[in-house]
A = this chain, B = another copy of it.
Amino acid sequence: MKEPELYVVIVGCGRLGSRVASELSGAGHSVVVVDRNEATFGKLSWEFGGFRVEGDATEMETLRSAKVGRADLVIAATREDNVNLFVAQVARRVFGVERVVARLHDPARQPVFAALGVETICPTLTAVEAFLARAGTAS
């Protein structure tokens, strides 16, 4: 059976954001990707059938253009932890989005994000898990 379709807003179209956007769009979800640099949209794969919004996600107008208020899931995936925290907080507190996940560069900041109700994914930590799995050691 097909999964219900989600409306997902992804902020940051770098190596990480562009892949997540392409995969989710390819899986049938409605995806809007936001980046202040239009050139990054070139990283999206041919699978991507969503919308692109060029703009600074720390400005409310940009988030409104992306219709963040209607999102089932917001992913803050820029390179900057502070931008991701800002976007995640605004999505939750101002727009009332229930599921917000932020990319976190510095694992030491995870408790702060958690205290503010923002789930995080840290590429370093997911890679650590993968290395430990190869060594046969569950973390």
Contacts and interface: CB of A to CB of B under 8 A. Distances in A.
Contacts of A114: none
Contacts of A23: 128, 132, 137, 139
What is the total number of copies of this protein in its complex? Answer: 2
Contact of A101 (B119, B121, B131, B139): B131
Contacts of A29: 135, 137
Given A126-B130, A127-B103, A135 B15 contact: no
A6 interface: yes
Interface of A: 3, 6, 8, 15-16, 19-20, 23-24, 27, 29, 73, 75, 77, 99, 101, 103, 107, 119, 121-132, 134-137, 139
